[in-house]
A and B are shown apart, each in its own frame.
Chain A
Amino acid sequence: MDFDYTPSELMAVAGARGIKDREVVAVGLGLPVVASFLAKQTHAPNMTMLFELGVIDPEPVHAGVGLADPRVWYRAKVLSSFVDILGSILHKGRVDVGFLGGLETDQYGNLNTTLVGDPRGKFRHMVGSGGANDIASSAKRNILIMRHDARKLKKTISFVTSPGYVTGGDSRAKAGLSGGPSRVITDKAIFGFHPETKQMMLMSIHPGNTIEDVVGTMGFAPVVPQHVPYTEPPEKEQLRIIREVIDPRKMYMG
């Protein structure tokens, strides 16, 4: 089967669809930035977009190398501080959606961005939390974006940087946290979480994949309901906006 879109583009579109108009969204690096800009430019024009370091609702015209790049602050409505964004907005409870990526996640949506290997033995240190742990802890819900790979969707992750449902069931609430991940978007499928056990649960598979293929390339067995639909493919206009407006130089989607 031939598709006129890439898996990354479908992930960005699926991410954008997870945002409702008028919601307040805290954005991490990479694909989440594309998903949020896409939502804002399509069905969610009144959403508010936050970058942790103190940026609200920028309208970049050049792709940046990360949140520290003034390119992604361009035309912001507010340029302030961590206390302002992660404190008075996120910690206060005003963020509806957190968008997070990571090195690896487990069946409860716990995220590792800190290290690969054995934290008590030989390991390679990566980037750590930044605002990810804060967003995972205090947003009303979180959308995780990950490559679909058994090395990234693992039974046990090396380090829990940002908590999902911790060890499942009510363990997140017992840790003092409400909210939690609502969706995990990969390049093969979209997952939710079982309402009671909080295990990852297959919601839809992207066109061109099979359930066997999706489940067989994971390090744990997700809950698979009887009927699993295909993910709705991107619309032409969404693809145009990604390619021509948001990421013409393919810095995010390369």
Chain B
Amino acid sequence: MTKVTTLAEAVASIPSGAHVALSGFAITRCTMAFAREVIRQGIKGLTLSQCVGAMDSDMLVGGGAVKRLICGGGSLDRFGRLNCVNRGIEDGSLQAEEYSSLSVTFRYLAGSLGLPFIPIRSLQGSDLIRQIEERTGSDVANITDPFTGESWLVLKPLLPDVSVLVVHTADAEGNAWIMGPRWDNVEQAKASKRTIIIAERVVSTEMIRRYAERTVIPGLLVSHVVELPFSAHPTSVYREYDYDAKEIEKYVEATSTPESFKVYLDEYVYGVKDHWGYLEKIGGMQHLNALRADPILGY
């Protein structure tokens, strides 16, 4: 069964207020084209989750699409902080629930296994746990290990409505390959009700069958498949293309105030019709070709 569709159709399947898990990590494999389309379509009130807050979350928060963010901190690495997320936390307009990387992962893992909760050693003795207890009241608890009598902190599973993953290769059913580190992406997809795959390329199922050991997301989890090259731009996709340092710097500068970010959104999001228009806007094929990864280095 083919699930191949356009980005616009896939994004339109997400109602305002949904819980969306995103595949980005800082400045790599971020769902940037997805974020731009969500903002263009005017979807609001989302809950976002990811292990480490990334550029995709930051853009969606800055674009006014997000009510709540569940993550383990985040940054744009040396390019800077998550200005939109931080501003939202500082002025109270964003409901942020901050964990650590592993505690968010464990919440997805519990969700992926259908478990009611998962014990963890992290967070104890920190202000993170105190703040989570204050803000959520019900997502963490303490239990006694029935076998040893030890006390354990336990976390509630995360069960996103949809996870959105930028991947390297998928077939029309959504069987997907991710090259390089996968951080929390596999657990995200398995914990979610459904997954939208945004693939650098769509290949035949015959091709997937020939290298099936690469398949980390089974198609049965997937509702939509979108073939969209350079969908993570200006962030990187390992072995496909490098991050675009100049465009990330431009973004960091633009997000320094709500006013300058509005100008950025007008130009790069509202000012273009779709992802193809965006790619033309930032310099087209000639510019993108210069970002292509060296096959040995992977960047």
Q: Tell me the smallest distance from the CB of B200 to a CB of chain A, in Å.
A: 15
B180 engages A91 (CB within 8 Å): no
Q: Does A149 contact B (CB under 8 A)?
A: no
A102 and B120 alpha carbons, distance in the complex (Å): 23
Contact partner, B181, options A71, A80, A123, Cβ 8 Å: A80
Interface size for chain B: under 10, 10 to 19, 20 to 34, or 35 or more residues? Answer: 35 or more
Q: Does B102 contact A (CB under 8 A)?
A: yes
Q: Mark A53-73, 1 if CB is under 8 A from B, else 0.
A: 111000001101111111101
Known: A68-B77, A69-B77. A133 touches B122 (CB 8 A): yes
Q: Tell me the smallest distance from the CB of B299 to a CB of chain A, in Å.
A: 4
B126 engages A162 (CB within 8 Å): yes
Contact partner, B183, options A81, A124, A133, A166, Cβ 8 Å: A81
A87 engages B125 (CB within 8 Å): no
Q: Tell me the smallest distance from the CB of B32 to a CB of chain A, in Å.
A: 14
Closest to A172 in B: B125
Q: Does A125 contact B (CB under 8 A)?
A: yes
| Cβ–Cβ < 8 Å partners of A67 in chain B | 26, 77
Q: Does B127 contact A (CB under 8 A)?
A: yes
A53 engages B105 (CB within 8 Å): no
Contact partner, A177, options B71, B101, B121, Cβ 8 Å: B121
Q: Does B195 contact A (CB under 8 A)?
A: no
Interface centre among B25, B79, B125, B187, by most A CB within 10 Å? Answer: B125
A55 engages B181 (CB within 8 Å): yes
Q: Does A214 contact B (CB under 8 A)?
A: no
Closest to B29 in A: A68
Q: Does B38 contact A (CB under 8 A)?
A: no
Q: Mark B79-96, 1 if CB is under 8 A from A, else 0.
A: 101000110011000000
B127 engages A80 (CB within 8 Å): no
Q: Tell me the smallest distance from the CB of A92 to a CB of chain B, in Å.
A: 10
Q: Tell me the smallest distance from the CB of B151 to a CB of chain A, in Å.
A: 7
A176 engages B124 (CB within 8 Å): yes
| Cβ–Cβ < 8 Å partners of A29 in chain B | 77
CB within 8 Å: A-B pair count? 185
Total interface residues on A, CB under 8 Å, equals 55
Q: Does A182 contact B (CB under 8 A)?
A: no
B102 engages A127 (CB within 8 Å): no
Closest to A165 in B: B125
A127 and B124 alpha carbons, distance in the complex (Å): 19
B243 engages A69 (CB within 8 Å): yes
Q: Does A217 contact B (CB under 8 A)?
A: no
Q: Mark B97-137, 1 if CB is under 8 A from A, else 0.
A: 01111110110010000000000111111111001000000
Closest to B297 in A: A74
| Cβ–Cβ < 8 Å partners of B238 in chain A | 70, 73
Known: A138-B122, A163-B126. A87 touches B181 (CB 8 A): no
Q: Tell me the smallest distance from the CB of B214 to a CB of chain A, in Å.
A: 12
A131 engages B180 (CB within 8 Å): no
B79 engages A65 (CB within 8 Å): yes
Q: Does A82 contact B (CB under 8 A)?
A: yes
A82 engages B78 (CB within 8 Å): no
Contact partner, A114, options B54, B127, B242, Cβ 8 Å: B127
Q: Mark A225-247, 1 if CB is under 8 A from B, else 0.
A: 00000000000000000000000
Q: Does A211 contact B (CB under 8 A)?
A: no
What are 15 A-B contacts with C-beta separation under 8 Å? A53-B181, A55-B181, A64-B77, A68-B28, A68-B54, A71-B299, A73-B180, A81-B186, A82-B184, A86-B102, A91-B120, A126-B86, A133-B103, A134-B101, A159-B127
Beyond A53-B183, A125-B86, A160-B126, 9 additional contacts (C-beta under 8 Å) are A66-B75, A68-B26, A70-B299, A79-B181, A82-B102, A114-B128, A128-B72, A130-B74, A160-B125
A-B complex: 3 closest residue pairs judged by Cβ atoms = A128-B73, A66-B77, A175-B125
- Interfacial residues, chain B to chain A (CB-CB below 8 A): 25-28, 51-54, 71-75, 77-79, 81, 85-86, 89-90, 98-103, 105-106, 109, 120-128, 131, 151-153, 180-187, 236, 238-239, 242-243, 293, 297-299
